[in-house]
Amino acid sequence: MKIADLQQRMEEMVHWLATYGADPEGGVTRLLYTSSWTEAQQALEQKMRESGLETYYDEVGNLYGRLTSANPEAGTILTGSHVDTVKCGGKYDGAFGILAGLLALRYLKETYGPPMRNIEVVSLCEEEGSRFPLTFWGSTNITGTAPVNKITQIQDAGEIPFMEAMKEAGFGLGYYRNPRREDILSFIELHIEQGAILEREKIPIGIVEQIVGQKRYTIECIGEANHAGTTPMVWRKDALRGSSQMILSIMESADRIGAPLVATVGKIEMEPNVSNVIPGKATFTLDIRHPQGDVLDAFCAEAIESCYAIARNRGLQVKVEKHMDARPVEMDESLISRVKEICRHQDLPYKLMPSGAGHDAQIMAPHHPTSLIFVPSHRGISHNPAEYTSKEDLTAGVQVLIELLYQLGYEGGEINEIQRTQYVNPNDHDSWSG
Ligand SMILES: [Zn+2]
């Protein structure tokens, strides 16, 4: 397969997979265990078989395509990403990592035959948390960290229980193998950046050093609803005014600390939300991310303290609820060096960077040496039908992946022993993804 063929095939495959769950608006919606999800997995299975791979599912619906080594006990190099999308998402998020893996395995098989270690591509069943209030369902089942107790209690917006949806799609019935994997030597995920840095700097490859830590809160500010005409300013307990001051104070300190810290208030709700009544209650969300755990902790502690101080000054009550507390996750250092070397060798400019978004790689990394590689996203747009990456950039990613899989799978490239770190499942708190 020549580079021009790879480019053309990559682009065709992105458009092909996007027909499963295609929206009238031009986006893609493939929610876990829905019919478009099932059709996409079945079509991928077919494509994997046509590419000469052995295919199988596990009990939760992760789909694998396998290139078996002459010594099947040799362990497995795994690559891939997630097949599910957000509502009206783009064609590349998740899909690119699966298709790149599929193309790379096909290329390696055609060119070099059976590998020294098993190499597999995985189409992970779920990452986004878009149908059920649960994220990383595919990868947490592989690592044995899935919150299995929780799934009996959750349902989608149409009140369909999780277990029912899973069984309806043919999984969770005991037909397939246990999802837990003990044979994985390394996990490699290719993904679009979903940010604008690589495109702005005209760099085709991003090598992720760590995935940022995230904390999410809901902050409820309680004052007193009262008449907008008869209550003098000094007597008011205006919940919105207090909340506004809290938000501004947090944003100003985020500006002071600067990149890579990001702080977002994405949702505000007010009660009674009436034009001639002083707001009695205001509730806002807070999402804070940073690649260093200590910086994140210190910033959040200070932000929350400032909310309490403002509330005290204004005679308001404040309730802070933490929903998510995901620690930053480091990618494997020796794989980072290897990918840097490959980029130099292939004359591809690269950038070492953190990932501001969550990825399956963060679930795998505490268990298996993991590499996360980015390609540029046009204008940084993602989770949107306008998501776009040029075929040249996609193919640069595939070329790096091919070489990395070759070194690890055919040459027996050295792989680190994982240092087990304290694993914190982001789903331990009621979380949502993105
Ligand atoms: Zn993704």
302 Cα: distance to centroid of ligand 1 (angstroms): 31
93 Cα: distance to centroid of ligand 1 (angstroms): 5
50 Cα: distance to centroid of ligand 1 (angstroms): 26
Element (H, E) at 373: strand 370-375
Start-end of CATH 3.30.70.360 domains in the chain: 213-326
What is the number of residues in the chain? 434
Closest CA to 187 of 107, 122, 138: 122
341 Cα: distance to centroid of ligand 1 (angstroms): 26
Is residue 421 over pLDDT 90? no
Task: Supply angle C-alpha 368, 373, 374, rounded to 5.
Answer: 145
User: 429 pLDDT band (50/70/90 cuts)?
Assistant: very low
User: 428 pLDDT band (50/70/90 cuts)?
Assistant: very low
237 Cα: distance to centroid of ligand 1 (angstroms): 43
94 Cα: distance to centroid of ligand 1 (angstroms): 4
Q: What is the pLDDT of residues 386-396, one digit of tens each?
A: 999 999 999 99
Closest CA to 89 of 159, 51, 40: 40
Residues 6 or more apart in contact with residue 32 via CB below 8 angstroms:
61, 84, 125, 126, 130, 131, 132, 137, 165
pLDDT given for residue 432 in this prediction: 33
Closest CA to 209 of 372, 420, 408: 372
CATH T-level fold of 213-326: Alpha-Beta Plaits (3.30.70)
> Token digits for 317?
């009550």
130 Cα: distance to centroid of ligand 1 (angstroms): 12
Is residue 426 over pLDDT 70? no
18 Cα: distance to centroid of ligand 1 (angstroms): 14
The answer to whether residues 81 and 98 touch, using CB atoms and an 8 Å cutoff, is yes
Q: What is the pLDDT of residues 79-131, one digit of tens each?
A: 999 999 999 999 999 999 999 999 999 999 999 999 999 999 999 999 999 99
Closest CA to 88 of 160, 132, 30, 40: 30
CA 11 – CA 96 distance, rounded (Å): 10
Q: What is the pLDDT of residues 179-235, one digit of tens each?
A: 999 999 999 999 999 999 999 999 999 999 999 999 999 999 999 999 999 999 999
Start-end of CATH 3.40.630.10 domains in the chain: 3-211+329-431
> Token digits for 151?
């799934």
236 Cα: distance to centroid of ligand 1 (angstroms): 46
Mean pLDDT in residue range 52-74 = 96
139 Cα: distance to centroid of ligand 1 (angstroms): 12
394 Cα: distance to centroid of ligand 1 (angstroms): 15
323 Cα: distance to centroid of ligand 1 (angstroms): 21
Q: What is the pLDDT of residues 285-327, one digit of tens each?
A: 999 999 999 999 999 999 999 999 999 999 999 999 998 888 9
28 Cα: distance to centroid of ligand 1 (angstroms): 13
Q: In this structure, are strands 205-211 and 350-355 parallel, antiparallel, or unpaired? A: parallel
Sign of CA dihedral 199, 202, 204, 206: negative
pTM (2 d.p.): 0.88
211 Cα: distance to centroid of ligand 1 (angstroms): 13
C-alpha pair distances (Å), 113 with each of 105, 175, 270, 410: 10, 31, 63, 9
227 Cα: distance to centroid of ligand 1 (angstroms): 48
254 Cα: distance to centroid of ligand 1 (angstroms): 26
126 Cα: distance to centroid of ligand 1 (angstroms): 10
What's the distance, Cα to Cα, between the start and end of the chain in Å?
Answer: 35
The answer to whether residues 352 and 339 touch, using CB atoms and an 8 Å cutoff, is no
Q: Where are the alpha helices (DSSP H) in 67-131?
A: 95-112
User: 57 pLDDT band (50/70/90 cuts)?
Assistant: very high
| CATH number for the domain running over 3-211+329-431 | 3.40.630.10
pLDDT given for residue 433 in this prediction: 35
Is residue 295 left, alpha or beta, with left meaning phi > 0 and alpha meaning psi from -120 to 50? alpha
DSSP states along 190-241: EEE-SSSHHHHTT-SEEEEEEEPEEEEEEEEEE---EETTTS-GGG---HHH
Number of H helices, E strands in the chain: 11, 16
428 Cα: distance to centroid of ligand 1 (angstroms): 20
Q: What is the dihedral of CA 237, 240, 241, 245, to 10 degrees?
A: 130
The answer to whether residues 74 and 116 touch, using CB atoms and an 8 Å cutoff, is yes
pLDDT given for residue 3 in this prediction: 75
